[in-house]
Structure formats: structure tokens, C-alpha cells
Structure 1
Amino acid sequence: MAERKYSEEHEWIEIDGDIATVGITNHAQEQLGDIVFVELPEVGATLNKDDEAGVVESVKAASEVYAPIGGEITEVNEALTDNPGTVNEDAEGDGWFFKMTIADPGELKDLMSESEYKDFIED
């Protein structure tokens, strides 16, 4: 089963072997409101942990999406280009942003478990 972790910047990351799928959390999309535009990274781009990976814009605000770990972008969710509202409908499922290779599995230890993230957003 894939393992899921969370960042303090409200990204989720699902680890499946050496590939990670990244998106924004349900909490983040609730804070943003109706999402009208998503800018995704380029396939083949190499990002370091905490690099800006994209932008999500809502009727309220624009917000950067960061890489929770370092690695190479292997796939982006092209469906979000035509239907950015998918992020509102299913932020932690069909609304994923990109997939990347995991450059350094040690970086995963800096991320939160689901229960730690729930405590983090309640504080």
C-alpha cells in the first residue's frame, strides 16, 4: 500500500516505490476556495525540496505549490489545465498535480503523517 505524508505548506505526497504523487490537501483547497487556474511544472524538470513546483489560483488568491521532496518530474495532471475545479472536488485524489522520482528517501522523514498533519492544521 502506498504511504501518504504531508508538508507544512499543505501538500500531500503519496509514495509508491521510487515515485511520489503530489497535490494540495483538502484543507488547502478549502482555504483557497474555487480554483480557477493551475500551473504545473514541466515534465523532466528537476526540483529540490521546497522549490516552487507550480501555482494554483482561486477566486480569492494565488498560491505557490512546492516540491515536498527533491526529484525529477515524470508526469503532470494535464486534466487540471482544462478543469482546475477538480482540485476542489477531489484534492487528495483525481486533483493530484504531478508525479516525481524520489531523489533522496531521507527527505521523507521531514514530512508529517496524516495524524500529525491533522494536529498541525487544528493548532
Structure 2
Amino acid sequence: MSPTTGLKYTRDHEWIATDGDLSTVGVTGHAADALGDVVYLDLPAVGTTIKAGDACGEIESTKSVSDLFAPADGEVTEINEAAVAAPGLVNTDPFGTGWLFRMRITGTPDLMDATAYAALIEGA
């Protein structure tokens, strides 16, 4: 699954889409494919302050348990309850209904555009 233009990406395979003062966060199609069938999501609670690069949750699949890393500094404002109830949405629609949480950003690290992220996963 190719990276979507208009989003920003981390080296840990999270994506972030900013709309006004809120940003939506999810994992990339590349990460979803590598994880296999996602069966459980442990997402940060609403109101949690997160720091870019720090583990802020877990994604459990039939293959493994992987940390979810914060793509930016900020506060979690919403979690995707639909994805928590049906974690397979991360596999079937990682850039749409499989988003994980929304946050209000207070600081952003050096994120990649779609071209740079594509180069990263092609070199992996």
C-alpha cells in the first residue's frame, strides 16, 4: 500500500494528518501489512500528554505486539472507538476508518512527506 500524499510520516510507520488545530494519527499500510491481522489496540487515553517518539500505546496482532509511538508532542483529544471495537479496521483501511487517535499538537519533530516515506520503506 503506497503512502498517501498530504500526510506526514514517522520512521516508526505512523502517519499524521493535520486539520486546523487537530491532527489525526494512524499507522501506515506498510505497518499494517507487516503486523498481520490486528486483534487488539491499546490506545492512549483522552487527555493524555504525549511526546514525539515515545511509546503511547500498543498494537497486538496474530504475529506480535508492537509499540505505538507518538508522532508529535501534544494532548490526545479523541480515540477511535470503532477501531478499538474492530481492530481489523487498521488492516482494511489504515488511512481511513482505521485511524487511531486525534491530538492537539504542541510540537512536531522532523516528519517525512510521502516521497521520503516511500524511499524509507523501499530501502527497508
Fold conserved (TM > 0.5)?
yes
Q: CA deviation at 1:94?
A: 0.6
Q: In structure 1, what residue type is equivalent to 2:79? A: V
Q: In structure 2, what residue type is equivalent to 1:88? A: N
Q: In structure 2, what residue type is equivalent to 1:23? A: G
Q: TM-score, normalising length from structure 2?
A: 0.92
Q: Which of 54, 58, 64 is matched with 2:57 structurally?
A: 54
Tell me the distance in 1 between the aligned counterparts of 2:62 and 2:85.
16
- Name the structure 2 match of 1:65: 68
- Name the structure 2 match of 1:35: 38
Corresponding pairs, count: 119
Q: CA deviation at 1:74?
A: 0.2
Q: In structure 1, what residue type is equivalent to 2:38? A: I
Measured against aligned partners, the alpha-carbon deviations of 1:13-70 in whole angstroms (never above 9, x if no partner) come to: 0011121100000000000111111111100001111121211011001101111100
Q: TM-score, normalising length from structure 1?
A: 0.92
- Name the structure 1 match of 2:18: 15
Tell me the distance in 1 between the aligned counterparts of 2:118 and 2:31.
12
Q: In structure 1, what residue type is equivalent to 2:120? A: F
Which aligned segments of 4 or more residues in structure 1 are displaced greater than 4 angstroms?
A: none
Instruction: State whether structure 2 residue 117 is matched by structure 1 residue 117.
Output: yes
- What CA RMSD, in Å, does the superposition of the two structures yield over aligned residues? 1.3
Tell me the distance in 2 between the aligned counterparts of 1:103 and 1:79.
26
Tell me the distance in 1 between the aligned counterparts of 2:85 and 2:79.
13
**Gaps spanning 5+ residues in structure 1: where?**
none
- Name the structure 1 match of 2:9: 6
Q: In structure 1, what residue type is equivalent to 2:116? A: E
Tell me the distance in 1 between the aligned counterparts of 2:113 and 2:51.
21
| Identity between Structure 1 and Structure 2 (%) | 47
**Gaps spanning 5+ residues in structure 2: where?**
1-5
